[in-house]
């Protein structure tokens, strides 16, 4: 299993991978959305079967604090801000952000950008086929600024707080905020803290739509590829592309399947089922953008995408300056 499309693409370009057989291609077409077909392809040839996935479009909230404040699951971005204000009026911060390093902030951007710009522009920006000074980036940063620039909604000290600390600020013994954004792995952070219970007072809703955008998910996953051309390997790939392969694991927990035909009733609890159904029900899925860009731009602490988004969090009024910094950093990284 590989966790990076870029690695699959490199192995394919080097001639190390076997293309999927006609039988596996048919199974993938039957069971997966086009987004996953595309992610398993390189230069028009299918090599991979995405067996495991993660949903990084989950907004986690303390249901006790929401109920106490009279807040509700929002319908869209503007209502999201309104519900955070209701929470803030009750004496808690609407949302806690942990951004001592920048990766949670790049996830914020990617979710907003997918909802404002759509999948095609998301792909173009990922590949640096359009610059970060593009108007589509302006729109996404403007949307983020409506939250990040509102001190009444965001708990102070975000740039000094770790991500695990931001979860504790919402679900710990002495909560200071009612909401925290990140992927489905937040459930593990909540369980580790031991104060709140996932599925009871620790719940999530889908990342809010922006301007009535269609259901969309940013995430990651693990792809199965084959290095040898033989009947046994092909049979395994066919099995992995089928619902049956995931349905063996799903009831045990720890697996979210991107296979549309996996019976979601088999998930062991309502939360894991909700995560999976949001993933397979999304009209558009895109892989985490920062994982697809050169690491000098999208994966290194203290520079590039990570650092510039921290600076934007601290000064969300500087949209144009942020865009130029992102473009300069991207141009240097992609040229290298």
Summarize pLDDT for 157-192 with one digit per residue, the tens. 999 999 999 999 999 999 999 999 999 999 999 999
Residues 323 and 273 in one domain: no
The 10s digit of each residue's pLDDT in 128-143 is: 999 999 999 999 999 9
Q: What string of H, E and C letters represents the secondary structure of the chain?
A: CECCHHHHHHHHHCCCCCCCCHHHHHHHHHHCCHHHHHHCEECCEECCEEEEEEECCEEEEEHHHHHHHCCCCCCCHHHHHHHHHHHHHCCCECEECCCCCCHHHHHHHHHHHHHHHCHHHHHHHHCCCCCCCCHHHHHHHHHHHHHHCCCCCECCCHHHCCHHHHHHHHHCCCCCECEEEECCCHHHHHHHHCCCCECCCEEEEECCCCCCCCCEEEEEEEEECCCCCCHHHHHHHHHHCCHHHHHHHHHHCCCCCCCCCCCHHHCCCHHHHHHHHHHHHCCEEEECHHHHCCHHHHCCCCCHHHHHHHHHHHCCCCHHHHHHHHHHHHHHHHHC
Whether residue 3 has pLDDT greater than 90: no
User: Does residue 305 form part of some domain?
Assistant: yes
Residues 177 and 99 in one domain: yes
Q: What is the CATH number of the domain that holds 197?
A: 3.40.190.10
User: Does residue 43 form part of some domain?
Assistant: yes
Q: What percent of the chain has pLDDT over 70?
A: 99
The mean pLDDT value of the chain amounts to 96
User: Does residue 294 form part of some domain?
Assistant: no
Whether residue 73 has pLDDT greater than 80: yes
User: Does residue 273 form part of some domain?
Assistant: yes
Whether residue 149 has pLDDT greater than 80: yes
Residues 193 and 224 in one domain: no
User: Does residue 89 form part of some domain?
Assistant: yes
| Number of independent structural domains in the chain | 2
User: Does residue 88 form part of some domain?
Assistant: yes
pTM above 0.75, yes or no: yes
Nearest Cα residue to 224 out of 235, 233, 234, 237: 237
- In angstroms, the CA 263 to CA 189 distance is 27
The 10s digit of each residue's pLDDT in 204-213 is: 999 999 999 9
The whole-number pLDDT of residue 7 equals 87
| 259 class by beta-carbon count within 10 Å (0-12 exposed, 13-18 middle, 19+ buried) | buried
What range does the domain containing 134 cover?
A: 58-214+299-335
Banded model confidence at residue 336, pLDDT cuts 50, 70, 90:
confident
Q: What percent of the chain has pLDDT over 90?
A: 97
Whether residue 245 has pLDDT greater than 90: yes
The 10s digit of each residue's pLDDT in 280-296 is: 999 999 999 999 999 99
Residues 271 and 204 in one domain: no
User: Does residue 236 form part of some domain?
Assistant: yes
CB 119 within 8 Å of CB 284: yes
Whether residue 1 has pLDDT greater than 80: no
- Which residues have a Cβ under 8 Å from the Cβ of 48 and sit 6 or more positions away? 2, 8, 20, 39, 40, 41, 223, 224, 225
- CA–CA distances in Å: residue 11 to residues 5, 18, 37, 42, 247: 10, 10, 17, 10, 29
The 10s digit of each residue's pLDDT in 307-334 is: 999 999 999 999 999 999 999 999 999 9
Banded model confidence at residue 76, pLDDT cuts 50, 70, 90:
very high
Residues 241 and 256 in one domain: yes
Mean pLDDT of 98-107: 96
How many C-beta neighbours within 10 Å does residue 38 have? 17
Residues 46 and 126 in one domain: no
How far is C-alpha 38 from the chain's CA centre? Answer: 17
Residues 209 and 269 in one domain: no
Residues 105 and 247 in one domain: no
Whether residue 2 has pLDDT greater than 90: no
Residues 69 and 25 in one domain: no
The whole-number pLDDT of residue 296 equals 96
The whole-number pLDDT of residue 252 equals 94
Residues 273 and 180 in one domain: no
Residues 25 and 120 in one domain: no
CB 286 within 8 Å of CB 119: yes
Banded model confidence at residue 298, pLDDT cuts 50, 70, 90:
very high
How many C-beta neighbours within 10 Å does residue 161 have? 19
Mean pLDDT of 239-256: 96
Residues 205 and 226 in one domain: no
The 10s digit of each residue's pLDDT in 214-231 is: 999 999 999 999 999 999
Banded model confidence at residue 6, pLDDT cuts 50, 70, 90:
confident
């Amino acid at each position: 299993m590989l966790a990076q499309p870029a690695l699959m693409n490199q192995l394919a370009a080097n001639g190390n991978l076997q293309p999927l057989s006609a039988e596996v291609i048919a199974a993938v077409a039957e069971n997966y959305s086009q987004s996953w077909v595309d992610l398993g392809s390189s230069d028009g040839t299918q090599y991979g079967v995405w067996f495991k996935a993660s949903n990084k479009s989950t907004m986690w909230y303390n249901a006790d604090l929401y109920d106490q404040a009279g807040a509700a699951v929002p319908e869209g971005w503007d209502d999201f801000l309104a519900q955070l204000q209701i929470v803030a009026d009750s004496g808690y911060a609407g949302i806690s952000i942990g951004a001592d390093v920048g990766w949670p902030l790049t996830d914020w951007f990617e979710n907003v950008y997918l909802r404002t710009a759509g999948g095609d522009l998301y792909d173009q920006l990922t590949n640096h086929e359009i610059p970060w000074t593009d108007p589509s980036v302006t729109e996404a940063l403007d949307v983020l600024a409506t939250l990040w620039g509102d001190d009444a909604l965001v708990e102070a000290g975000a740039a000094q707080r770790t991500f695990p600390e931001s979860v504790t600020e919402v679900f710990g013994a002495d909560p200071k905020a009612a909401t925290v954004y990140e992927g489905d792995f937040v459930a593990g952070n909540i369980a580790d803290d031991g104060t709140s219970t996932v599925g009871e007072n620790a719940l999530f809703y889908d990342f809010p739509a922006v301007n009535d955008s269609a259901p969309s998910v940013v995430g990651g996953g693990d792809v199965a590829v084959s290095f040898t051309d033989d009947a046994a390997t092909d049979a395994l790939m066919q099995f992995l592309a089928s619902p049956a392969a995931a349905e063996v694991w799903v009831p045990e927990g720890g697996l979210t399947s991107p296979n549309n035909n996996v019976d979601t009733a088999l998930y062991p609890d309502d939360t894991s089922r909700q995560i999976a159904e949001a993933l397979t029900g999304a009209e558009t899925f895109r892989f985490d953008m920062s994982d697809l860009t050169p690491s000098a731009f999208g994966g290194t602490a203290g520079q590039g995408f990570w650092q510039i988004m921290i600076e934007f969090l601290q000064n969300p009024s500087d949209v144009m300056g942020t865009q130029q910094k992102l473009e300069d950093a991207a141009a240097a990284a992609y040229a290298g």
